[in-house]
Amino acid sequence: MKFKKLYSFSAVIFSIGLVFSVQWHALYSNRTSFVNKKITKIEFQGNRNTSSSDILEMMEMRVDTVLTAEMINADIRSLFQSGYFFQIDIQGELDGSDGVKILVVIQERPRVKDIDFIGADEVFPSDLREKIPLKENEVITPKKVALSKEVILKKYRDEGFFLAYVRFETDPIDEDTNTVRAKFIIDEGEEIPVSKINIFGNSEVDTYELQGILDLKESGIIESGVFKESAFESDKQKIIGFLKSKGYVDAELSNDGTNWEIKWENPKKKDKRVVIVNFKLTEGDQYFFNGYSTAHDMTLAPNGMPLYLNKENNPIGTPTEEWKPVYEIKHLKSLYEFGDNDVGEIFDESKFQKDRGTINENYSQKGYLFAQVIPRRRIIELSEDSLSRYESCSKRSTPDSVKECEDEYSRLNIAKLRNLYDSKRDLRGKKFIHVDFTIRENNLAFVENIIIKGNKKTLDRVVRRELLFKPGDLFNSMLVNRSRERIFNLGYFKEVNFNMRPGSDETKMNLIIELVEQPTGTVSMGGGYGTITGFSIFTQLGENNLNGSGQQIQGRIEFGPIRRYFQLSWTEPWLNDKPWSLTLSAFYSARTLYVGATSITENNNQGIKETASYERAGVGVSAGIGHRFLINWTHFHRYSPSFFASTRPTSLVSDQVLAEVDRGWQFRSQLTNGVAYDSRDNVFNATQGFNLVFSLDNVGQVLGGESHFDQYSPILEYYQTWFDYTFFGLIRKNALRRWRVVQQFRTSSVFTYERAPFRKSQDKEKVPYIQVQDRLYLGGYESLRGWFFDDKYYPDEWKNGAASRVLFTSELRFPIEPSLLWFVVFWDAGAMYEEVNKAVGERKDYFKAYDSTVQSQRYTLPKETYIYEHYNQYGQPLVESPLDLNDPGRLVLSSKNMSLQNFKYSWGFGLRIQIPVLPLRLYFAQKIRYTGSGEHPFSTYPDSNTFQFVFGIGDLRF
C-alpha cells in the first residue's frame, strides 16, 4: 500500500517536471503557435562576453511588440551575421492567451586572448598585428580570420615572398574566460628574384633610362632583384610620370602587355622560380612649352557682382573699377617655375602640376581652400600654316575677329614661335602646349569639425591643444602644416596625417587627423662614456605620455668611477589645458673633479706636474614653469635651490679647494629666466628651421647663498637641407626624398659675470663668488670633439676652468637610414675667457706681474727660455710659445681676443645613431690649428696629427 502511494506521488512529480521541461519551444519550427502574439518578456541564456543589451540591439524583437514570422527570420539572420555566435536558438513560451515570452539561447564564439605569428622571420610580427582585422579581446569570426590571412599574404607579396602560405589554428578554449590563443602559422617560402624586365613600345626614350628610375631591379651581382608587387604597381606610375616629364603627355601603359609572371629559371630542372616583368607603353607625341596665360574668372552673378571673385574684398555694391582679387596676376606669375623665357622647352608635366599646385597653396594660406585653378590647354603645331593663321589678323572679316586674332597672337607667343620655326628646324612640326589658367577664388573655407582617429591611448585634448586653429577658424594651410609638425614633435606618434573632407556647406570643411601611436614608455639600462664624465652605467625609467595625458615622468640612476647621479622629474606640459607647463624635479649628484696640474718642483716652467682631484656632492630640487605664445615662442622660468659640499681632496689640490672642503655644505640659490624660438620641422631629426634659446641665470645675490654671479647663455641652431638623394630630380624616386643631406650650424656660448652678495659681507678670496663647480671646461664630444679638457695645447688657465666659453660647430649629415643612421662630417671651434680683473690674492699678483716676469726670464735665462718657448721635452718644435699661450692679456673677454687665433679647432667624421632614449655618437676627430695663411688657413699640429676616437651617449646637440 505504501509502495503504491509512493509510486503515485513520484508519477505526479515526474508529470509536473515533464510539463515544465517542455514548455519552451523553438520558435522557428513552432512559429504558428506564437506568431501574432504580444511579446511580454525577452531573456538571454549562455552569453558571457556579450551583454544582453548588445544582443538586443541586433534584434528587431522588443517587449510590447507583436511577434511576426518575418521578425523571427530577421533576428536569427542578424545574430548569425554578427559573427559573435556559432549556435543560436530562439525559444518561446506562451504567457496567457495573448502573450509570449522569448528566450534566446546562444553559444558564443571565443574571444582572442593572444595572437602569435609562428614562422614570421622576414616580416616584423608587430607590422602584421597592426594591419590584420583580427584583434586581441575581440571575437573570432571566420570572416576576420579569412581577411587576416589575406592581409598577411599581401604583406609577404609586397616583400617579395610570393610562395608564402598561412594557416590558422587555435589552442583549446579556456572555459572559465571563453578566450583562446590564436596562431597564424606562416611558411614564408622564398623570395623570388626578377630575372628580366622587358620594356616595349618606346621608340624615343632609352630603355636603360627607364629602367634606371624603377624600384624593381634585375637580380645580379650588385642587386638582389627581389620582386615586390607594390614596387611593380608604383613603377607603372613612375614610368608614366617620367614620360610626361619628358614631354610625352599622352603616354600610357597597355593593360594587355603590362604584367608579371612567375616561371622556372630552368624549366628542365625546376629548382628555382623567377619573375619576368613586362611594361608595354605608348609614348605618343612629344610636346613643348608655349607659355601660360593667367586670368581670374569674372563671370557675373544675377546681381551684377563677380560670381567667383572673393566676397570679402568685393561686397555687394562695390563699383566695377574697385573689384579686387586676393592675388594680382603679376604676383601669381612670379610663382611659376615655367616662365615666358621657357617657350620652346620640353613640356614637363610635373613642373606644370607644381605650378598649378603653387597657386592653390598660396590661396589656401589665405583661407581660400576652395579656390579652383582651371587649366585649359591649347595645342599649336609649329608649322607655316599654323603660324600664318595668327600672323594675318588684318585679313579677318570683322573688327571683332581681327581684335580676337590679335589678342591670341600676343597671348600665344606667336612671335617667339616664329623665331623658333626659323632658328630650330628640328622643332618644325612639333606640338606646343599653351595653358590658360582660369582662377576661381570662391569662398573662404572655415574649419567645421576636427576629427581625431587612431589615438587609442593619447587623449583627444592632448592632440587638440597642439593645433594652431580650432573649429570655426579660417583655414590656413601654413598653420595646418605647422600643427602637424607640432603633434609629431610630441614623440607619441610614428605617423601623423591630415586629411580634409567637405563640410555641411560650401564654406566649411572637416579636418581628419589620422594618428599611428608608438610606445612612449622607456625602460633602459646601459653604459655610457663622456670625455669629462668618464665611463658609467645607468638605469632609466620613464613615461612621456602618462595615461595618455601628455604628462612626463622620468627617473635616472647613473653610477661610475667619476660620476654618480640620481634624478627624478615630473612635467605637466599643459596646466588646466592652457599653454603653461610645470616641471618639478629633484636630484643627487656626486662627481670627481680633476683640477689643473700642480708643480711638484721648484721650476714652474719646466717642472714635473701631477694632477689633483676632489669630490663634489650636491642635492637639490627645482620648480619651473613655461609658457608657449604666438606660434613658435616660449618663455620659461625656473628656481633651483640646492646644497653642495666638497670632500675627499687629494694631497696636491690647491689651497682654494682645501678651503672649500673646510666650509662643508654650502647653499646655492639660482633663478633662470629665458625665451626660446623653435621652428624646426622635427625636433628628433631636424631638416630645416631655427632653434634659438636665450637664458639668464641669476645665482645668489638677493637670492642668498655663497655663489654670486650672472650667467648669459645664448644658443642658435640653424638647419639647411641642401639636396636629397633624388639629386635635384635627376633620380625620379619619391622614396629618396626622405634621404635629405642636411647641415647643422650651431653656436652656443656661456658668459659668466661675477656679482657681489646683497647686503652681506663675504671674503671672496676665502669664499669665491664663482666657485670651482661653476667654472666651464672645454673638450670632449660634449663641446669640442678631439680635445681633452686638460689638453696640453690649452693655456694653463683653461685647465682649471673659465668663466666664459664660446663654441661654434657645423655638421654635414648624410643619411644612411633617415630615421636611424647618418654619416657626418663636422668642424668645431671653441675658446674660453676670463675676467682677469676679478682675480684675487696670489692669482691677482701673478697676472699683474706676468709681463715683467716673462721679460725678466728672457733676459736672465735667454738660452733656457728660448728652448722652452720653441721646443717640447722631446726636442720637437712648438707651434706656439707657452709664455705667449698663457699670457693673461689673451684670456680677457674682449672683442680683440674674440679672434680666430685664440680659438681651438677640430674636424672629423663619424656616425650619428638615433636610437630612441639612447642616441649614440661615434666620431674620429683631428685637432687643427689656425695658421693665418690665406692659402692654407688651417694645418695639423706636428706632434699630434692623428685622429682621436670620440664616443658619446645621450647628447642631442651633435
pLDDT interval class at 604 (50, 70, 90): very low
Ramachandran angles phi, psi of 79, nearest 5°: -65, -40
What is the maximal distance between C-alpha atoms in the chain? Answer: 148
CA distance 306 to 533: 71
- Compare 347 and 685 and report the one with higher pLDDT: 347
CA distance 703 to 755: 12
The pLDDT of residue 729 is above 50: yes
User: CA angle at residue 38 from 36 to 44, to 5 degrees?
Assistant: 110
CA distance 778 to 712: 17
Q: Among 794-798, 842-846, 929-933, name the one with the lowest average pLDDT.
A: 842-846
pLDDT at 616: 86
User: Average pLDDT in the 397-413 region?
Assistant: 89
Among positive and negative, which fits the CA dihedral 300, 305, 309, 310? negative
pLDDT interval class at 658 (50, 70, 90): confident
Among positive and negative, which fits the CA dihedral 444, 450, 454, 457? positive
179 contact partners, CB below 8 Å, separation of at least 6 = 110, 111, 112, 113, 173
pLDDT interval class at 502 (50, 70, 90): confident
pLDDT at 7: 42
pLDDT at 836: 65
Q: Hunting for cell 595653358 — which residue is that?
A: 435
Q: Among 293-307, 585-599, 638-652, name the one with the lowest average pLDDT.
A: 585-599
How many other C-beta atoms can be found within 10 angstroms of the C-beta atom of residue 600?
A: 11
User: Average pLDDT in the 323-327 region?
Assistant: 93
pLDDT at 219: 85
To the nearest whole number, what is the mean pLDDT of the chain? 85
The predicted-structure confidence for 914-923, as pLDDT tens digits, reads as follows: 775 567 888 9
Highest mean pLDDT among 97-101, 295-299, 524-528, 873-877: 295-299
CA distance 646 to 664: 7
- Compare 921 and 246 and report the one with higher pLDDT: 246
What is the distance, to the nearest Å, from the Cα of residue 402 to the centroid of all Cα atoms in its chain?
A: 59
pTM above 0.75, yes or no: no
User: Average pLDDT in the 670-691 region?
Assistant: 91
User: Average pLDDT in the 247-267 region?
Assistant: 89
What is the distance, to the nearest Å, from the Cα of residue 305 to the centroid of all Cα atoms in its chain?
A: 47
User: Average pLDDT in the 880-907 region?
Assistant: 87
Cell, residue 135: 584583434
CA distance 229 to 191: 12
Closest CA to 477 of 445, 518, 437, 507: 445
pLDDT at 123: 82
The predicted-structure confidence for 794-841, as pLDDT tens digits, reads as follows: 988 888 788 999 999 999 999 988 878 899 999 999 999 987 666 656
The pLDDT of residue 883 is above 50: yes
Cβ(712)–Cβ(696) below 8 Å? yes
Residue 154, SS3 per DSSP: helix
433 contact partners, CB below 8 Å, separation of at least 6 = 249, 287, 288, 289, 290, 347, 377, 378, 379, 380
